[in-house]
Amino acid sequence: MYQPGRAGAHPYHASRDCVANDLHQCYLYFMSVIHLSPAAKRWQEVVNDPLLSQRLERIETDARGQVIMAPPPDFIHRSQAKQIQAHLDRLLGQEQAMTEQPIETDVGAVKIADVVWLTREQCQQLLRDPNLPLQPAPPICVEIISPSNTIQQMDEKRAAYFAIGAKEVWICERGGRMRFFDPTGELSQSRLVPQFPKQISIDGPFAGRNAAA
């Protein structure tokens, strides 16, 4: 039976293996494959690769479809992502904030945004295809700076998200300071979510435990 995303297989070959009760599922898969971009098809291969799925590193692809690996997010990075997601859901009230979202850039690379705010249409897309790298970009894309990141990397990611339709890109610095950008430059606060805090704190939940200890 044809496995979606398997390298070297052609979607039409799967029709020979479809039995009656699988025809509808095969049809839906064929239609999704037909409309996938080359970068999205390559990403499907990556996420379905059994060897890559065992790697701990964060995986992205470049414009040629080559795999790029980076150290996995550490505790501070993950905690900041969790706080940002929680603030977005609390302030906007629709639970459409997600972490670790693949996004397809205009040059065919796939980058992972730390946190995003999705439109309803994008949520529906991901329900149909959970591994789909989104394009256009979500309205809000958030990057959290890790020790291994450079200013150039952050600038490039910000430009890449704006090039494919992001309304705002937020940067969370290592110390928790939030910076907000739209395509014209840096903002004093987010225009889409003006109540969003300018500082993310992750030590609050642990302060009582430390004091007690």
Q: What's 98-109 look like in SS3?
A: EEEEEEECCCCC
Residues 6+ apart with CB under 8 A from 36: 44
Name which of 8-22, 82-96, 119-133, 177-191 the model is least confident about. Answer: 8-22
- For residues 84-89, average pLDDT: 96
**176: alpha, beta or left? (left if phi > 0; alpha if psi -120 to 50):** left
Digit-coded pLDDT (tens) for 64-82: 999 999 999 999 999 999 9
Structural domains in the chain plus CATH codes = 70-206 (3.90.1570.10)
Cα 40 to chain centroid distance, Å, stands at 13
DSSP letter at 171? E
**Token pair belonging to 58:** 């964060």
Q: Examine the pLDDT at 30 and tell me if it is beyond 90.
A: no
Residue 47's pLDDT is 92
Q: What is the rounded CA–CA span in Å between residue 186 and residue 119?
A: 23
